[in-house]
Amino acid sequence: MFSTRDQHHDAVRFEGTDFTGAHAEGHSFLECSLLGATLDEAHLEGSRWSECEWERVGGVGLSLTEAALVETTMEGCRLAAVSAWGSTWRDVTVRGGKVDFLNLRGARLKDVAFVDCVVVELDLQEATVDGLTFEGCTLVQPTFGRGTYAGLDLSGATLRAPVGLAGLRGATVSRTQVIDLAEALALELGILVAD
């Protein structure tokens, strides 16, 4: 369990550790590893992760509100109800696994890659994106709008029931996606499509 007295963690390996309900608000983690750890209802608000790795981490109700993740990798994680609004992600890779209900509203994302994973109900409203890709991913009911998406590349993803397509100005999608999403986009824009 994290100690409130020790707020800086340097090169610590947390393996199989149960952090259910843990409080580590504002803690910093440098070159740390979370391997097979449990983060149910963990409070990591305002924490900073630099050059860290998360592997096979599980957690429901995890809070990363206004946290910072830099040069960090997440491999094979299974997370749900992740609150990360207002957070900052830079040089982060999320590979494999599944994330349900990922709230990145108002987040700042630079050079972030999701690879071969499933993300359900991703909220990217009001996010500032400068390099975000989804290679081989399935995005179920992602929500967009009022964000800056010039660096958002959705061309490598399978999109299912996306919301806020009209707000994706500047984003990159594939030609196939344009065809697949045409009806949903027309509906959002109030365009009537004749048979």
pLDDT at res. 6: 67
pLDDT at res. 184: 87
pLDDT at res. 151: 95
Sign of CA dihedral 35, 32, 47, 92: negative
* Sequential pLDDT tens for the chain (195 residues): 565 556 999 999 999 999 999 999 999 999 999 999 999 999 999 999 999 999 999 999 999 999 999 999 999 999 999 999 999 999 999 999 999 999 999 999 999 999 999 999 999 999 999 999 999 999 999 999 999 998 999 999 999 999 999 899 999 999 999 999 988 888 888 888 887
pLDDT at res. 2: 62
- Strand ranges in 84-176 using DSSP code E only, listed in sequence order: 88-95, 98-103, 108-115, 118-120, 128-135, 137-140, 152-153, 157-160
Overall residue count recorded for the chain in this entry: 195
Both tokens of 110, joined, read 């630079």
Kindly report the number of other CB atoms within 10 A of residue 18's CB atom.
Answer: 13
pLDDT at res. 185: 85
Cα gap 89→22, rounded to integer Å? 22
pLDDT at res. 190: 85
